[in-house]
Amino acid sequence: MSQFHKTMMRKEKEKDQSFVQKENAIVDGIDISGHWNRMYEPRELTSYDTSGLDALRDIPGAESIGWCYQCAQCIGVCPVDNVGDYGPRKIFRKLQTGLNILDSADLWQCTTCMNCLRVCPKEVDMIKIMPAAREKAILDGNEVPAELQEMFQNTAEYGNPMGESARKRTKWAKKLDVDVRDLSKNPEAVDVLWFVGDYYAYHGRGNDAASAMARVFSRLGVDFGTLGAEEKCDGDSQRLAGEKGLFEMMAEHNIEQFNSQEFNKLVVSGPHAYNAIKNEYPKMGGTYNVEHYTQFLSAMIDKLKPLMVNSFDKKVTFHDPCYLGRHNGEYDAPRALLNAVPGIEFGEMFRCKEQGYCCGGGGGGMWLDGFMSDNINERLSENRVKEAIAVGAEVLAVCCPYEVSRFEDAVKSTGNEGKLEVLDIIEIIDRCM
């Protein structure tokens, strides 16, 4: 009889016998005595204060923080850790040792870029955890960074983060020789309702891109109009920064406006508006056929190409916006447009597409640069600008209205003025026409 069968028979015999714990154990002639072979009382961890972890885990939406098993995959890809000391694994460890995140600077540093979720084997979802925790902190009356608080107040009062009056929303269009129809004043059926967005409407460099868009639409013969002064902020950054109530206020208003117009397609200038209208507005009853402008134009590339008659002889690289790329899976449309530009020499950065590096503007980060300077060594936008320079680019192309101003500041603060130009893709197309 083999040794295996003997062992099995012995085990069968022992089945009915109660367990006996012994100091020494000889099994099949092998001495397996030792500490590791002892039975222990159920262990209780008494050296940790887990109240912080429990408190976060108990917030609806934040449950997945408890699933972390500390593999550290997230740390290598977290853009904030890249310039500081952050990432889900580190947050989890701090929570295990008593951190109350609702009262901590760590609450506001995540940009909701989604890079950690991409690699996390346990699906610890910071895109849900952080907005839920921020919302709780706000409702509890905890301190909110002053810059963010100001943005919330401006949005509530004026319908945009800058605190500009609604009347000025269409000022940029008045200087153009292209007709930008204001459907809030003269409602009429259009093919495309263009959701212009706050930065295009109010920021100086955004105005340049908005003007370029109007000219390109016009040359392509697009039948388009806007909501004029009736457009309000899409609200997505407010939602991600924890102000769900404000988001709902903005969304309700915009949905009401959309529903009062007749159009086939909604085209948006920015990835944040795209994300809000595509993924969040339907939860509030507003479902639309929405496209980011790069998607809309790339579908018309055959019509667009012959109109681009001027050559753009520059080395260009492209920054993937987190909310167009990782969050909504669109990597091809911006590249299709750039590759159609005559004369362009296009090259990728090291971190691109799914692995794209965040500019720091998402999840409310757009309004937290001052706050973040106390917590990180370098702004994320500065880190990105250095990468664009490292790959030899002369132009950093973007397609998110937050990014032109963010990267232009970073070009200056890293001493690269004159070496790198930051342009919205729509500006490049416009220059070629």
Residue 38 to residue 49: CA distance in whole angstroms: 28
Complex with ligand SF4: residue 341 or 380, whichever CB lies closer: 380
Considering only 95, 107, 116, 359, the residue that binds ligand SF4 (CB under 6 A) is 116
Tell me the closest approach of the beta carbon of residue 134 to ligand SF4, in angstroms.
12
192: helix, coil or strand? strand
Query: In angstroms, what is the minimal distance from the CB of 219 to ligand SF4?
Result: 38
The nearer residue to ligand SF4, 205 or 326, going by C-beta atoms, is 326
Contact between 365 and ligand SF4 by CB under 6 A: the answer reads no
Number of residues that bind ligand SF4 (CB under 6 A): 28
Q: What angle do CA 83, 379, 383 make, to 5 degrees?
A: 70
Rule CB under 6 A: say whether 351 interacts with ligand SF4.
no
Q: Of how many residues is the chain composed?
A: 433
Q: Which of 52, 62, 89, 292 binds ligand SF4 (CB under 6 A)?
A: 89
CA distances from 129 to 67, 145, 247, 391 (A): 12, 19, 17, 35
CA distance linking residue 307 with residue 341, whole number of Å: 10
**72 lines the binding site for ligand SF4 (CB under 6 A):** yes
Binding mask 96-115 for ligand SF4 (x = CB under 6 A): --------------xxxxxx
Q: Closest CB to ligand SF4 among 48 and 188? A: 48
Would you count residue 399 as binding ligand SF4 (CB under 6 A)?
A: no
Decide if residue 122 touches ligand SF4 (CB under 6 A). yes
Which CB, 278 or 327, lies closer to ligand SF4? 327
CB-CB contact of 373 with 77 (8 Å): no
DSSP count for the chain of H helices, then E strands: 21, 11
Least separation, in Å, of the C-beta of 321 and ligand SF4? 13
Of 151, 174, 173, the C-alpha closest to 162 is 151
Judged by CB, which is closer to ligand SF4: 78, or 372? Answer: 78
In this structure, are residues 174 and 185 in contact, taking their beta carbons and an 8 Å threshold? no
Given candidates 53, 95, 99, 124, which one binds ligand SF4 under the rule CB under 6 A? 124
Beta-bridge mates of residue 268: 195, 292
Does residue 129 belong to the site contacting ligand SF4 (CB under 6 A)? no
Which of residues 92 and 274 has its CB atom nearest to ligand SF4 in the complex? 92
Question: Residue 195's CB: how many other CB atoms inside 10 A?
Answer: 25
Q: Is 381 in the site for ligand SF4 (CB under 6 A)?
A: no
Instruction: Give yes or no for a contact between 369 and 357, defined as CB atoms under 8 angstroms apart.
Output: no
Can you list the alpha helix ranges (DSSP code H) found in 125-235?
126-139, 146-158, 171-174, 198-202, 204-220
Instruction: Considering only the stretches 81-89, 164-172, 181-189, 235-243, report the one whose residues sit in contact with ligand SF4 under the rule CB under 6 A.
Output: 81-89
Helix, strand or coil, per DSSP, at residue 31 = strand
Instruction: Tell me the C-alpha to C-alpha distance, in Å, between residue 200 and each of 51, 125, 415.
Output: 45, 31, 26
Distances (CA, A) of 81 to 109, 184, 262, 368: 10, 45, 46, 16
Q: Choose the binding region for ligand SF4 from 27-35, 76-84, 217-225, 273-281 (rule: CB under 6 A).
A: 76-84
Q: Closer to ligand SF4 at the Cβ: 113 or 324?
A: 113
Assess 95 for contact with ligand SF4 (CB under 6 A). no
Q: Which H or E element spans position 9?
A: helix 3-14
Does 325 interact with ligand SF4 (rule: CB under 6 A)?
no
Single out the residue of 53, 126, 190, 372 in contact with ligand SF4 (rule: CB under 6 A). 126
Positions that interact with ligand SF4 (CB under 6 A)? 68-74, 77-80, 87-89, 92, 110-116, 119-122, 124, 126
